[in-house]
Structure 1
């Protein structure tokens, strides 16, 4: 078959490469695959209305498309195996036919043949299929490159621009770097901030939450404004001491979307200093609050408490309840990380916070279960009795859990031992084929010897039925 001409093929590939921001070789691969799908459609349409489609899913796996950029055209090629008798003309070719052009051809060799149909025979349906597949493959390649590009980003915080709204999500345009094309990212409702005004073309700092594969949509970027990583990034960019390493952020607890509208978003950040002469809290706040104010402005007025981390759990817990003043912290159950925090009556509501937000964030930040108690009404003996009962219940639950795990492990070990014993007594064929064959042979010889003893002086004949035991062994 002759080359099917595609005038302007090289320019077409270059234009698509420029428009889609894809390498030319990627566009060529997509075009070859699209033309091959078009050829499959051309072959299938030959059976429409006549008989059932005879092609299965892997039928065209030996076909390929070759592009000729110099002559601007393409060919459909088929790899066929040389055989004596042809059963499938699309996959095989007769040895006698090949030897007419190649005397050294041998059965089992593979030859590549040109099976390109005439351009006028290709058909409108096949051409439409080619166009659709090409567009889909280019979209898939774009998404795949986006996934690889953003998955390897060292800096997970991006500048995003609002472009449209879909249901409750905000669709934003983001770029992975200077000079790179913008791509779409989704900001779901749960990752938005209540104080943000998402108007068209408004820009925000967003945290790249994940790059995941969405069914029927391919790779999709999901960004967040509520992720704690965004707070860490903003502090790192505003506080030089964090960049230098003299101050470090130990933990962050954030409630960007409180359960009630009457409570605003709030964050607690625990910081520590590597150098004694550096005040970590003061470094993060800055002169007259200039540094922390930049972070607050970016988060649209979100309240931020910067507290000092301490190796002493009691001191750390007291610091985490800032701005409340704490009288005493009792670590009533260090193993279960349970503490009683004693505060003056006038500090009780402040320590708990509106709808419990302050103590809730402090518990997340420290990892301890915190009970805020009025220091003037605190009965230590009664509270210790209650805590002792709780500790006893926890220990009983842990003991039951451990007992159940040990019982399960013992049952599994017993089953494994029993399985091993049974397989030793009754080996399976896949365990040891030599054993089975040898066993069959030994049993057969033993059967013949027994038959000879029972009938002395008589030679066994071929008409004599085989012993049933031999069949048992074979099974």
Structure 2
């Protein structure tokens, strides 16, 4: 069969490789795939207006394209199985035909044949069809390689630029470093901030949330503006004491998209000091609030409470409810991490927060269940009775859970013993053992 000429093939591959920052072998693979699509399209057009397209999605899976860089052209190749009687000429070849050129050919062997069409229109059609497919394949390869770089990045926070909008998502362009081409990333609606203005070409700091393979779309990057990791990154970059290790962020609780529009985004950050003379809260806030203001500006006005972590649960719980003033913290069920926090009447609404946001974030930050109580009306004996009932219910639930797990373990052990007994009585091929001489032995069936 004739070679389909592609003048300047080697130069074309080198130019694309340099322009797209892709290795030559990746460009060649994309070109072969695009040319194969051109061949598929050519074959399908032969049936237009005559009969229904007989080719299914996997029909051309045994076809490939061979590039000849020296002669500057390509050939279409097909892997065919040797059979006695041919049912599909595209997938099979008769033994008698193969033996005319290869006497030792056997049934079931595979041969690769040049099946390039000789017709002139195939070359023109293949070139036209290939151009669009090649551009798409190169984009896919470029995106895949760049996204592999992003998957290995140590720094998960990137600068992103808004390029367009799709449904409720914002499509952004991000780059893994200087000189690297940009790649598209999706910012879903749930990961956006309500105070952000996502206009075209606006830039934002985003948290690289996930790089995953999406069916029919290939590799896809997902970024977030609401992830707590973004807050940690911003503090690390604004507070030298965190970079040096004298101050550490212990926990972060963030509500970037509150359930109600009446409540704004808010974050609580618990910090601790490794060095006794360093004030961790003051270090994060900075002189006249300069450091925390930079973080707030990047998050478009989000409220941020920086509180001091404490190894004492009662003190930590009191700190977590800042800016409310706490009178007393009662750890009514330490094992179940349940506490009553008593506050003055004038601090009650502040401690709870609008629509419960403040206490909700404090509970997430500390990991404790927090009940805010009015200190002026708190009846300790009555509350203790209620707590005792709750503790009893919790312990009963834990007992039932432990019993269920024990029953499951016993059932699994019984099944394992029964399986072992049956395998001993009726050994299968996988149970064959090798003796010391490497010879196979099996237990005789009884």
TM-score (norm 2): 0.86
Q: Secondary structure at the match of 2:409?
A: helix
Residue 7 (structure 1) shift:
1.7
CA distance in 1, matches of 2:412, 2:262: 54
Residue aligning to 2:277: 277
- Quickly say closer, same or farther: Cα 1:167–1:36, change in 2 above 3 A: closer
Residue 176 (structure 1) shift:
1.4
Q: CA RMSD in A?
A: 3.2
Residue aligning to 1:57: 58
Residue aligning to 1:107: 105
Residue aligning to 2:330: 330
Q: Secondary structure at the match of 1:221?
A: strand
CA distance in 2, matches of 1:47, 1:165: 40
CA distance in 2, matches of 1:406, 1:342: 40
Contact 1:326 1:343 in 2 (8 A): yes
CA distance in 1, matches of 2:387, 2:444: 70
Contact 2:209 2:222 in 1 (8 A): yes
- How does 1:2-401 map onto structure 2 within 5 Å? 2-43=2-43, 49=50, 53=54, 57=58, 61=62, 63-78=63-78, 87=86, 91-92=92-93, 94=97, 96-98=99-101, 106-108=104-106, 113-120=113-120, 122=122, 129-401=129-401
Q: Secondary structure at the match of 2:267?
A: strand
Output one character per residue of 1:330-380: Cα deviation in whole Å (capped at 9) or x when no partner: 111111100011112222222111221111111110000001112222221
Unaligned runs of 5+ in 1: 100-104, 443-475
CA distance in 1, matches of 2:428, 2:230: 59
- Whichever of the two has the greater Rg, that structure is 1
CA distance in 2, matches of 1:438, 1:377: 81
Output one character per residue of 1:390-433: Cα deviation in whole Å (capped at 9) or x when no partner: 00011111111222222233333334444444555566688679
Unaligned runs of 5+ in 2: 434-439
Residue 111 (structure 1) shift:
6.2
Contact 1:42 1:123 in 2 (8 A): no
Residue aligning to 2:436: none
Q: Secondary structure at the match of 1:98?
A: coil
- Quickly say closer, same or farther: Cα 1:312–1:428, change in 2 above 3 A: same
- Quickly say closer, same or farther: Cα 1:12–1:295, change in 2 above 3 A: same
Moved more, 161-170 or 130-139: 130-139
Count of residues paired in the alignment: 433
CA distance in 1, matches of 2:160, 2:74: 42
Residue 144 (structure 1) shift:
1.4
Residue 137 (structure 1) shift:
2.3
CA distance in 2, matches of 1:23, 1:427: 53
CA distance in 1, matches of 2:57, 2:376: 82
CA distance in 1, matches of 2:358, 2:191: 21
- Quickly say closer, same or farther: Cα 1:246–1:35, change in 2 above 3 A: same
Residue aligning to 2:437: none
Contact 2:99 2:105 in 1 (8 A): no
